[in-house]
Amino acid sequence: MAKNFFDKIRPTFSEGGKLSWLHSSFDAFETFFFVPNRVTKKGGVHVKDCVDLKRILIIVVLSLVPALLFGIWNLGEQHSIVFGLGWGFWEKVWYGFVKIIPLYLVSYIVGLGIEFASAQMKGHEVSEGYLVSGFIIPLIVPVDVPWWMLTLAVAFAVIIGKEVFGGTGMNIWNPALLARAFLFFSYPSKMSGDSVWVGGLSKALEGGTPWKGGEVVDALSGATPLSHASLDGLSQAGTSVLDLFVGNIPGAVGETSVIAILIGAFILLCTGVASWKIMCSSVLGALFVGWLGTSFGVTDIPCWEQLLMGGFAFGTVFMATDPVTSAQTECGKWIYGFLIGALCITVRLFNPGYPEGMMLAILLMNTFAPLIDHYVVSANINRRLKRAKTV
Amino acid sequence: MSDQIRLKKGLDLPIAGAALCEVTKRVAPGLVAVKPTDFRGMVPRLLVKEGDAVKAGTPLFADKKCTDMVFCSPVSGTVDAIVRGDKRKLLAVRIAADGKNESVSFDVPKAASLDKEAMTALLLRCGLWPCLKQRPYGTVADPQAEPKAIFISGFNTAPLGADYAFTLQNDFDALQAGVDALGKLTKGGVHLSLDARKFAGDELHKLTGVIFHSFEGPHPAGNVGVQINHISPINKGEVVWTVDLPLVAVIGRLFLKGVYDTHRTIAVAGPAAVNPSYAEVPAGVAMADLAGFFGNDGEIRVISGDVLTGETVGPDGFLGFFHNQVTVLKEGRYYEMFGWANPIRSKKFSVSRTYPAFLRCHKKYDMDTNENGGERPFLMNDVYGKVLPMDIYPLQLFKACLAGDLEKMENLGIYEIIEEDVALCEYVCPSKIAIQQIVRDGIDLMIKEM
């Protein structure tokens, strides 16, 4: 039935049709519903592997789902704790759902809108890259971020971060992180502090909306553990290692639950979509600097606990491994990942102003990934030149 | 014997329709064609006109740059048509065979008594020089060049490829005479690579005057380019020559019988082939003579060569000079609803683990020509290196080719590859990028500019 519908309207969008200028959009929808009937071209291979970018990106989205589902529940959970509401499971889920849906709407409408418009302008096929970025953005921004700010951030990330470089596959920085960085540096008051990570709390504090009981003190000290990045801080906040691991703590929607992220990592590694080298080396880098930190008395948090805190796990699994912005060479991936982990913890240890180092570490290494690749590839070139000389 | 080289990277395509080791058809020469387009870097000058009588071994056209280099008719008969394309480009010379099987008889001295110049002149005169390909670039060998060595791949790993042990089983003497002749052309020796899995039992192992190597691994382990990369990689300024094993036998037949004899045993295979098996055919055979293998079940694609590197010739086309197989595929002009979201998709193969195909390790697939997706920019960066067993950074090289950056192409190893070596990269590419075309354009640019 859907096939007939597309067949019927195809002439309208084909060359010479009334809406031929909308061809890219038509194509995007058609290929979403149907793997197209195109056959291999002359002068190339005649059969092709059945994997395509849609498949790869849908796997990434799938791997993000556990983090999203947990995040939805956790939004309700944190709100319920802070405001002393004593909600049941479904009430929490409903609250989280209602909170997160507008963020997704904004992220996808704005982001995909720009992607479609830009593909339309260039006459290209619409690339699926934004499906993943758009899925990640709501998971890493404060849940109470005003819609207009998110709109600006998404537009900035897609236009300046991606389209000016030529679109999907050409960008230097991870678009999702760029959106978060935009918010972080443009509206610092909305992005940091203790209150932004619990749904409804900042509004309550500002506007004096009444809440039950005098829990605000508890609420504040129960906020994101990274504001108290020391063992004392953690225990004061009442956050145990188990809490960090399970994720029932305040924080960005997708980042809190290490368990949910590990499920995602499992999917990505089993399917071979994300690079195990980057994940592995990033963990090694973090452990190394975390260990240095404890050895020299900079911090009293054991290095392995660093892995559970803040956005480290989410960043390592889902954003450092972005194939476009990471290092492209296998050897380069080890260096790239290691430096991300190391830098993340370094920022955490030495700069109280930016307790969350992961975003900055990844963006910085995105910037340097081409340099790393350059040296790795140069080594290959030198090997070839040397071979020529010795023969 | 040399050390065994084990390659891990690569992929043996699990495609259905392998040819049974049995010759089920012997094609008597009917219409055949010689296609100048099979020979890279050669500009043809026609030597015959329509209606001329020719014998097997009569020159049809010569290279404009090296007029001694002639390309001969594989059968006796008359010139049926001279096929031209855009801008009068010569596409093919078609010969209608007369069934008399007459050959020009060449006066061939013993190979041992010839030096390099004499051997070169003989092969040029007898029309067998074009059997030699030159690396870099895969062009017809330049008779003036001093090759570092000559490389021959003794086995075929291409999907559904002809099994040389079967097709050349009666040609041992010709192979020996062929390698003896080739040995005269270079000081670096004739290198023959064999399949490690049947190294000792291989008939080829009894050849003398060659340097053996053994390779083990999936396709493209049988590609001569990959073998060269591991035996003695091509550096800037160096030239090596390669010869396909069946053409070594063709050269050998000249010395044994004094004639230009290019008939060959080819595999006719593929998921859409009826009774896939072997056929004995003259070079440049018309696909029409093989129509019995094609069936009439929907739209099919007839390919001269294998599914990775072959050329679509259609049921009216002709076999390419270097090809030893014909592959028949179904055209994949169909839509597949939410195919990309289907968790199983049991009828399609994927080397990526995003589909469970990797669990069904022994299944063969009825592959067709569907692209399985739309063309996108390069996104995944680790898929190409997994199927290219060479010390080369494929993605960076492809991008250098796209950018037309000659220096980078040179530094990243353009001298060491030709299209067939990167064909698997194109097969696995999730962005459906025409990588062989990119490399072909890159090589053409190198030839033009250097």
User: Is the pLDDT confidence value at B243 over 60?
Assistant: yes
User: Closest residue of A to B440, CA-based?
Assistant: A43
Q: Which residues of A touch B235 (CB under 8 A)?
A: 384, 387-388, 391
Q: How far is CA A355 from CA A279, A344, B434, in A?
A: 21, 9, 46
Interface of A with B in 285-314 (CB under 8 A): none
Q: Which residues of A touch B238 (CB under 8 A)?
A: 391
User: Closest residue of B to A45, CA-based?
Assistant: B308
Q: Are strands B264-269 and B277-281 parallel, antiparallel or unpaired?
A: antiparallel
User: Closest residue of A to B412, CA-based?
Assistant: A381
Please, which pLDDT band fits residue A355 given cuts at 50, 70 and 90?
Answer: low
pLDDT tens-digit readout, A280-310: 999 999 999 999 999 998 888 888 888 988 8
Q: In the predicted model, what is the mean pLDDT of residues B397-422?
A: 95
Choose among B442, B378, B437, B363: nearest CA to B408. B442
Choose among A247, A232, A238: nearest CA to A309. A247
Q: Which residues of B touch A326 (CB under 8 A)?
A: 381
Contact A44 B334 (CB under 8 A): no
Q: Which residues of A touch B431 (CB under 8 A)?
A: 52-53, 169
C-alpha gyration radius of chain A: 23
Q: In the predicted model, what is the mean pLDDT of residues B414-436?
A: 95
Contact A45 B237 (CB under 8 A): no
User: Closest residue of A to B416, CA-based?
Assistant: A384
Predicted pLDDT of residue A340: 96
How close B433 gets to chain A, by Cα (Å)? 9
pLDDT tens-digit readout, A82-115: 888 888 999 999 999 999 999 999 999 999 999 9
Q: How far apart are CA B46 and CA B66, in angstroms?
A: 13
Please, which pLDDT band fits residue B194 given cuts at 50, 70 and 90?
Answer: very high
How close B402 gets to chain A, by Cα (Å)? 14
A370 part of contact set with chain B, CB < 8 Å: no
B63-97 burial: b if 16+ Cβ within 10 Å, else e: beebeebbbbbbbbbbbbebeeeeeeebbbbbbeb
Predicted pLDDT of residue A259: 95
Predicted pLDDT of residue B48: 95
Higher pLDDT, residue A4 or B268 = B268
**Bridge partner list, B212:** B192
Higher pLDDT, residue B318 or A214 = B318
Q: Which residues of A touch B332 (CB under 8 A)?
A: 37, 39
pLDDT tens-digit readout, A135-179: 999 999 988 889 999 999 999 999 999 999 988 888 999 999 999
User: Is the pLDDT confidence value at A236 over 70?
Assistant: no
Q: Which residues of B touch A56 (CB under 8 A)?
A: 352, 354, 379-380, 430
Interface of A with B in 118-147 (CB under 8 A): 125, 127-129
Q: Which residues of B touch A390 (CB under 8 A)?
A: none
Contact A43 B434 (CB under 8 A): yes
3 state DSSP class of B194 = strand
A5 part of contact set with chain B, CB < 8 Å: no
User: Closest residue of A to B332, CA-based?
Assistant: A39
A42 part of contact set with chain B, CB < 8 Å: yes
Out of A291-300, B27-36, B123-132, pick the least confident.
A291-300
- Which tokens sit at A375? 């040296």
How close A89 gets to chain B, by Cα (Å)? 31
Q: Which residues of B touch A33 (CB under 8 A)?
A: 337-338
Residue pairs between chains A and B whose CB atoms are closer than 8 Å: 209
Q: Are A131 and A56 in contact (CB under 8 A)?
A: no
Q: In the predicted model, what is the mean pLDDT of residues B82-99?
A: 94
What domains sit in chain B, N to C, each tagged with a CATH number?
3-15+107-257 (3.40.50), 28-97 (2.40.50.100), 264-359 (2.40.240), 394-449 (no CATH)
pLDDT tens-digit readout, A251-282: 889 998 999 999 999 999 999 999 999 999 99
Q: Are B10 and B424 in contact (CB under 8 A)?
A: yes
A186-210 burial: b if 16+ Cβ within 10 Å, else e: ebeebbbbbbbbbbbbbebbeeeee
Contact A377 B334 (CB under 8 A): no
Predicted pLDDT of residue A211: 45
How close A38 gets to chain B, by Cα (Å)? 6
pLDDT tens-digit readout, B305-353: 999 999 999 999 999 999 999 999 999 999 988 888 888 888 899 999 9
Alpha helices, H only, B36-171: 116-125, 164-167
- Which tokens sit at A52? 């395509």
